[in-house]
Amino acid sequence: MTKIYLICSAEAEGDLYRIAQGHFNDRITDRGWRQIKALEKGFAHIQIDKVYTSDLYHACATASAIYKPKSLISYKRKILRENCMGKWEGRNWGNIAYEDAQQLRNFKTAPEKWHVDGAETPQQVLSRMLNSIRQIASENEGKSVAVISHCFAIRYLLAELQGIPLKEVHKLPMVKNTAVSIIEAEGGLLRLVTENDISHLGDKDYQAYEKPYETLDFDTDMYFQPLPWVAYGEIMAEAIKCVWQEAGEDRPFNKHILLEDAAMLQTIIGFVEQEPAGFLQFGMEPGSITLLCTHPGCRRASLGVQLIGQAVMAARAKGGDYLRIALPRQNPYRKFFLNYGFILAGENEKGRDILEKHIGPDSEF
């Protein structure tokens, strides 16, 4: 008999920034690295003979929690990748919902009807996952192996092992980051023993869930577009005016300067349920942020981090390795940026603190 520990990859940028990441090779978040440390501790005393992983970065990084402490190597297999999302790859979920609502509903609740150009069908993903797990089991008879894959690919497989057809897979809970399922394989048969165990994330040493996702009574996936400043400039100005002094600004608020900047600099507006909810403006240098603001009526809805995600994507598209924003020292929102990986990197000529976040490549995995 082969014992297979099937593990979902740790939180990656797509999870946090709400971006479709199928085969999108994004990076691990700060919380994801804490999840990886918690996973490492959880497997410290578990015998593992071999480690297999999807070849995507966030899976390979997750696999390091197991193979590194045990002085093993990992075997990368493309066949263990997430569901390829085709033309949805790298796009934020809010824009997908706005532009392709019916197919997104199919993806969530009727996967047998889901079709996107260039994407795999769930049945194709299930078939390759079944073949891969059976092959791994046959190669490791009598051993214990760890297999690192991704949320939807694992979900389809777990449904199959429980006799649940793909058209009803939405009835299963989502597979959480670093969740561990145990499969026993013998004679070509697969038996699900344990499903989606995340007990290791309760370890207080790593506090992997110290900032849990909030469940709200509305869809918080933002959709973005370049700011039509004639139509929405006044709304942006009013939103920023409301938080101007609160943000530690000692200069008088000047709406005209703000609107002039909005007309000249790249500015993005984010919507939630057709209502303006956030604003993001870039400076001239790649990765420079001159404005990041959520509407005062949309606080505590996990919207600000989606704006950071848009800044990351825009900066990388221009070859930038860092995000930078200058804030007054008394700005109360500094903690928000520090929570999402920014660090203090000096001050500018106006005496403002420069906060910086590295977003460049990491070639370790």
Predicted confidence (pLDDT) per residue in 26-80, tens digit: 899 999 999 999 999 999 999 999 999 999 999 999 999 999 999 999 999 999 9
pLDDT of 298 reads 73
Q: Positive or negative CA dihedral for 27, 31, 35, 37?
A: positive
Q: Which of 185, 188, 119 is nearest to 152 (CA)?
A: 119
CATH 1.10.260.30 fits 223-358, yes or no: no
pLDDT of 216 reads 47
Worst-scoring range by mean pLDDT, 47-51, 208-212, 227-231, 255-259?
208-212
Report the alpha-carbon angle 8-93-243, nearest 5. 110
Tokens of 323: 């995000």
pLDDT digits (tens, 9 = 90+) for 170-180: 989 999 999 99
Q: Which of 107, 122, 142, 157 is nearest to 7 (CA)?
A: 157
Bridge partner residues of 326 (DSSP): 354
- For the chain, give every residue range classified as CATH 3.40.630.30: 223-358
Q: Which of 119, 122, 132, 130 is nearest to 84 (CA)?
A: 119
**CA atoms of 305 and 10, how far apart (whole Å):** 18
pLDDT of 350 reads 85
Q: Calculate mean pLDDT across residues 181-210.
A: 88
Contacts of residue 239, defined as CB under 8 A and 6 or more positions apart, other chains included, come to 276, 279, 293, 295, 296
pLDDT of 211 reads 57
**CA atoms of 353 and 178, how far apart (whole Å):** 36
With cut-offs at 50, 70 and 90, classify the pLDDT of residue 262: confident
Contacts of residue 276, defined as CB under 8 A and 6 or more positions apart, other chains included, come to 232, 235, 236, 239, 269, 270, 295
**CA atoms of 243 and 237, how far apart (whole Å):** 10
Which DSSP letter does residue 349 get? T
Q: Calculate mean pLDDT across residues 260-287.
A: 90
User: What is the average pLDDT score of the chain?
Assistant: 91
CATH architecture of the domain formed by 2-202: 3-Layer(aba) Sandwich (3.40)
pLDDT of 159 reads 97
CA distances from 306 to 24, 177, 213, 215 (A): 17, 19, 13, 16
Which DSSP letter does residue 253 get? P
Q: Calculate mean pLDDT across residues 309-336.
A: 92
pLDDT of 301 reads 66
Q: Positive or negative CA dihedral for 97, 103, 105, 111?
A: negative
| Contact between residue 307 and residue 294 where contact means Cβ atoms under 8 Å apart | yes
With cut-offs at 50, 70 and 90, classify the pLDDT of residue 351: confident
- For the chain, give every residue range classified as CATH 3.40.50.1240: 2-202
